Chain A
Amino acid sequence: MMAISMGKSTRRSLLAMSLPVYVLLYAPLLLIAIFSFAPPPLAKGQTFYWYADLLHSPEVIAAFRRSLTLAIGSSVLGTALGTLMGFGLYRYRDRRARGFGSALPSLIIYTPIIMPSLVFGISELIFFSFIHGTTGLLGAGLLTMGIAHVTFEAPFVALVVFARLSGLDPNMFEASHDLYADARQSFLHLTVPVIRPAIIGGFLLAFTLSIDDFTISFFTAGPGSTTLPIYIYSAVARKGVSPDINALATLMIATVIGTGLLQYAFTRNRTRKLVARPGD
């Protein structure tokens, strides 16, 4: 790699222009955390007052549980559908074929990714209310939210799995064929083991997308299916900034940043090992 020569003054001005950006990115989050430790005047000294308050709120506990149920349930199905899609498109699509028919699967897969989430959410809202109005099925609730979540998770999983497969030696599949493995055997004993990291990664991505989503959840939720982001949103829309929301937001921020850093540490160690192996 080419050494980057750059004047000291250029370096210094780059640092001077970047540092404020880093500070600005974290200042609002930090401020929330600081405010969350300020107890009301009558409870001086109780640093964790608002956190204890959260634990005693059945609404918050229920919303947290719903968020988890929704994320796990939808990610399991989304990962299954997405993995099959990524694999099928990699393995069985006729790549020499041209024209609309052969481009159709990719077009369908990219629809949920490029669709603005507001349009996504409203489409679901109308669709489910139409189905509910005519058949009485699929009333707005965790189930409709789950269906919507699977719809936006599966394509991302498919992309992750597809990317992993593209990085592999295609002769591997020929070899399994030569060894008289049928399609099912080759899928279970060859494909699944080699794409396991992609499946796990895809599942985690799906889980994160689900936990993170607000807009699509908001338009598919029913009266009894308030998840954490919806709980925060409606509390904020109702009463603006409030200390208990500060505490809840701080917990969510801490979880995300903690998980992100852990994941970074984990993958860095693993890549280092992988890189180190050939030299052993």
Chain B
Amino acid sequence: MSAAAASLRGRAARAERFGRAVRLWVTAGPGLAWIVAFLVLPSAILLGIGFFTSGSYGGPELPLTLQPLREVAGYSILGWSSGNITVLARSLVQAMSAGVLTVLFAYPVVFFIVTRPPAARPLLLLFIVLPSWTNQVVRTYAWMELLGPESALSHLVQSLGLLQPHLGLFPGVLAMQIGLTYNYLPYMVVPLYAAAEKLDWALVEAGRDLYASGPRLFWNTVFPQTLPGLLSGIILVVIPAFGDYVVPTLLGGGKSMMIGSLIASQFLETPNWPYGAALTIFMLVFTCAGLFAFRVLSKRLGGAEESMM
């Protein structure tokens, strides 16, 4: 009797679980299928192309080969060249300096905002975020104007003798650095602000009571508490800056490529899909390594709560 009841209950539970699964696929299924069909599959194809031979028109052809990946490291038919390593190193340096610069700009701004009255804070934060809502092309274009050869800024630098006359600050590495820092600053300010707003000021008070001075007080009481926000900020700035396409193409000019513009040119100007795909694999490996390092770090530090789903 009880065995029959148990089996009935078991069957009901199974039916219920089945019903839930069906409903999950009816509701979430179409969206998930869309993403798989139009992004997961296409990006898998792109990565796969990195293992093909480049055909006469730059398209992928058999046989499978590791040549494109070797090319990323600088080995071509003509032997080894440093060109690629330079581009990769430049991208890394640019992205990391953008990270450092945004941190330096963001800390004072964030603490300026959190020490204002609560009613004023959202507006002050909004004014930091607003420019980033305009189109990236427009934002980057704005700096072409500001740094061009005829601009007041360039004239100033020319008159200081740091720049030859009739040359602008743009295009070049410096312009690219400014563009990246400008574009990604809000992505540092927002997570840092979220961490700073929850700051436990009692700890700061305690530190002051123990006669800690300015820098030490900051380093031992404020900094550890804002570390989770800082880490998120670095991830949000460095990874997209590393693979940015708009800034290097508009502000960098032909001489100072970054990996983003190098990849794009393999698909646009002189096609070499396998090589472009191999560069993409490298970029994604870097992205994943960065995200993984961030996860490990933030877990070890006990901060950065896991988000939603």
- Which residues of A are in contact with B by a Cβ distance under 8 Å? 1-6, 10-11, 13-15, 17-18, 21-22, 24-29, 31-32, 35, 81-82, 84-85, 87-89, 91-94, 105-106, 108-112, 114-120, 122-127, 130, 147-148, 150-151, 154-155, 158-159, 162-163, 166, 183, 208, 211-212, 214-215, 219, 228-229, 232-233, 236-237, 240-241, 245-246, 249, 252-253, 256-257, 260-261, 264, 268
If A21-B108, A151-B38 touch, does A257 touch B137 (CB 8 Å cutoff)?
Answer: no
Question: Inside 8 A of A166's CB, which chain B residues have their CB?
Answer: 308
Q: Are B20 and A264 in contact (CB under 8 A)?
A: no
In whole angstroms, what is the CA distance A229 to B168 when docked? 25
In whole angstroms, what is the CA distance A239 to B30 when docked? 44
Question: Inside 8 A of A17's CB, which chain B residues have their CB?
Answer: 108-109, 112
In whole angstroms, what is the CA distance A109 to B114 when docked? 33
In whole angstroms, what is the CA distance A69 to B24 when docked? 31
Question: Inside 8 A of A126's CB, which chain B residues have their CB?
Answer: 42, 45-46, 49, 267, 273
The distance from the CB of B204 to the nearest CB of chain A, in whole angstroms, is 8
If A82-B31, A108-B32 touch, does A21 touch B202 (CB 8 Å cutoff)?
Answer: no
Q: Are A159 and B246 in contact (CB under 8 A)?
A: no
The distance from the CB of B300 to the nearest CB of chain A, in whole angstroms, is 21
Question: Inside 8 A of B75's CB, which chain A residues have their CB?
Answer: none
Q: Which of B41, B133, B264 contacts A212 (CB 8 A)?
A: B133
Q: Which of B32, B148, B264, B276 contacts A241 (CB 8 A)?
A: B148
Q: Mark B121-142, 1 if CB is under 8 A from A, else 0.
A: 0110011111101111111011
CB<8 Å pairs between A and B, sample of 15 = A10-B214, A21-B185, A29-B134, A84-B30, A88-B23, A92-B23, A116-B243, A118-B264, A119-B284, A122-B263, A158-B31, A212-B135, A236-B250, A245-B141, A261-B130
Q: Are A232 and B137 in contact (CB under 8 A)?
A: yes
Q: Are A260 and B109 in contact (CB under 8 A)?
A: no
Question: Inside 8 A of B39's CB, which chain A residues have their CB?
Answer: 111-112, 115, 120, 123-124, 151
Q: Are A252 and B134 in contact (CB under 8 A)?
A: yes
The distance from the CB of B37 to the nearest CB of chain A, in whole angstroms, is 9
Question: Inside 8 A of B26's CB, which chain A residues have their CB?
Answer: 88
In whole angstroms, what is the CA distance A163 to B115 when docked? 29
Q: Are A25 and B28 in contact (CB under 8 A)?
A: no
Q: Which of A35, A232, A241 contacts B138 (CB 8 A)?
A: A232
Q: Are A249 and B138 in contact (CB under 8 A)?
A: yes
If A93-B24, A123-B43, A126-B273 touch, does A249 touch B142 (CB 8 Å cutoff)?
Answer: yes
Give residues of chain B (7-44) contacting chain A, Cβ–Cβ below 8 Å.
17, 20-21, 23-24, 26-32, 34-36, 38-43
In whole angstroms, what is the CA distance A208 to B41 when docked? 26
Q: Are A28 and B142 in contact (CB under 8 A)?
A: yes
If A28-B142, A127-B45, A237-B249 touch, does A159 touch B308 (CB 8 Å cutoff)?
Answer: yes
If A31-B146, A111-B35, A249-B142 touch, does A118 touch B263 (CB 8 Å cutoff)?
Answer: yes
Q: Which of A183, A237, A240, A256 contacts B23 (CB 8 A)?
A: A183
Question: Inside 8 A of A256's CB, which chain B residues have their CB?
Answer: 130, 133-134
